[in-house]
Amino acid sequence: MVTVAVAIAVVSCGKDNSDPDSESETGNGDVYVAGWERRSNSRTYNEAVLWKNGVKQNLPDGTVAGAASSVFVAGRDVYVAGFEKNDYDNSDAILWKNGVKQVLESTLSQTSANSVFVAGSDVYVAGDENNASGTAFAGIKVSVLWKNGVRQTLPNVHSAYTTNSVFVSGSDVYVAGHETGYPVEDIAVLWKNGVGQALTDGTRDATACSVFVAGSDVYVAGYAYDVRDENDIYHSVACLWKNGEKQALTDGSQHAYAYSVFVAGSDVYVAGRDGSLTQHDACLWKNGVKQSLTDGAKEAYARSVYVSGSDVYVAGQDGAVACLWKNGVRQNLTDGTLPANAVSVFVK
């Protein structure tokens, strides 16, 4: 994602799409985590990173700013989606396969690959395009789905939009994201085979961050600003939609976000955060019951959840440290010297 003296902001949703058929039955598979880490030399920027069993691999050559957003393993092949900067304002959507970079086709100057899913011989990547401020069509965002590198745009339900997650079940392709400013605020959206369904009515901001299909049931994790406090400030509520029906995971007393959903048997796992705007827990909900992964002393996130056998893996961050939790036990992927974030986990 040319060396750029700038830190890259990472999108708010975790990118965790996982194929339940690829799970390790014993739970003893390799653990892959995608994210980013700040690089500091004569210039400072973030770079895309993949950790395998805790060992870091830099995806670019160390001179390119960017981030990895999603990892998926199929057979012996490791796919990572993300972006790299090609100058100060502009970026390319990138798909790495076994560390080899492919720049995905784009028509606008700011492009990002946010989620990857492999089904059989087909590789699906969801992302979005935009133009930098001061350029033609600045601020016009286009949602894109690449299938085997071929670009197609997703039809918008109402206005400009962003895709956060892709999941393939049989012949059906599901994409979760949001549209901007309709009729007043962002709406959470789920596309099935290119047809969009609004999950919220647009009266308050909402986002769909992650989609997972289990049998005939479609689960979407995200958040909506549904609760207003005595100071007329709206609080975000972590939400889970099952077949379009919304379940609030939190009561709106604080600010909560659901970033990732994974279904294993009859259990539904959701990763996210809950707390104040500046201090909040990375947390995991299992069947609606919350487990805090951090102590709330820092700004912490649980970005992605994956279940393999009897083991539950969560990727995220606590302050400046990229973390991986296995069954609630934390492993630091970085030492906190430089900021880092783990945003996607896959076990194979």
| Residues spanned by the domain of 268 | 20-347
Q: Does a structural domain hold residue 9?
A: no
Residues in the chain: 348
Indicate the SS3 state at residue 22: helix
Q: Does a structural domain hold residue 4?
A: no
Q: Does a structural domain hold residue 109?
A: yes
In this prediction, residue 309 carries a pLDDT of 97
Q: Does a structural domain hold residue 15?
A: no
In this prediction, residue 75 carries a pLDDT of 96
pLDDT in 10s for each residue of the chain, 348 residues: 322 222 323 335 765 656 655 544 445 799 999 999 998 754 578 999 999 999 998 887 667 889 999 999 999 999 999 999 887 778 899 999 999 999 998 877 789 999 999 999 999 999 988 865 544 445 567 889 999 999 998 876 556 678 999 999 999 999 999 887 656 678 999 999 999 899 998 888 999 999 999 999 999 999 999 888 777 788 999 999 999 999 999 999 999 999 999 999 999 999 999 987 777 899 999 999 999 999 988 899 999 999 999 999 999 999 999 999 999 999 999 999 999 999 999 999
Q: Does a structural domain hold residue 91?
A: yes
In this prediction, residue 52 carries a pLDDT of 98
Q: Does a structural domain hold residue 303?
A: yes
In this prediction, residue 13 carries a pLDDT of 77
Output the pTM of the full model.
0.90
Report how many domains make up the chain.
Answer: 1
Task: Give the phi and the psi of residue 125 in degrees, each rounded to 5.
Answer: -130, 125
CA-CA distances (angstroms) from residue 331 to 13, 119, 253, 319, 342? Answer: 21, 30, 30, 14, 12
H helix or E strand, kind and range, residue 91: strand 91-97
- Label residue 279 exposed, middle or buried (CB < 10 Å: 0-12, 13-18, 19+): middle
**CATH assignment at residue 202:** 2.120.10.30
Cα(164)–Cα(210) distance, rounded to whole angstroms? 7
| Contacts of residue 173, Cβ cutoff 8 Å, sequence gap at least 6 | 124, 145, 166, 167, 192, 193, 194
Euclidean distance between the first and the last CA atom of the chain, given in angstroms as a whole number: 26
In this prediction, residue 204 carries a pLDDT of 87
Q: Does a structural domain hold residue 80?
A: yes
Q: What angle do CA 300, 226, 177 make, to 5 degrees?
A: 65
In this prediction, residue 156 carries a pLDDT of 66
Q: Does a structural domain hold residue 43?
A: yes
* Of residues 261, 304, 285, the one with CA closest to residue 35: 304
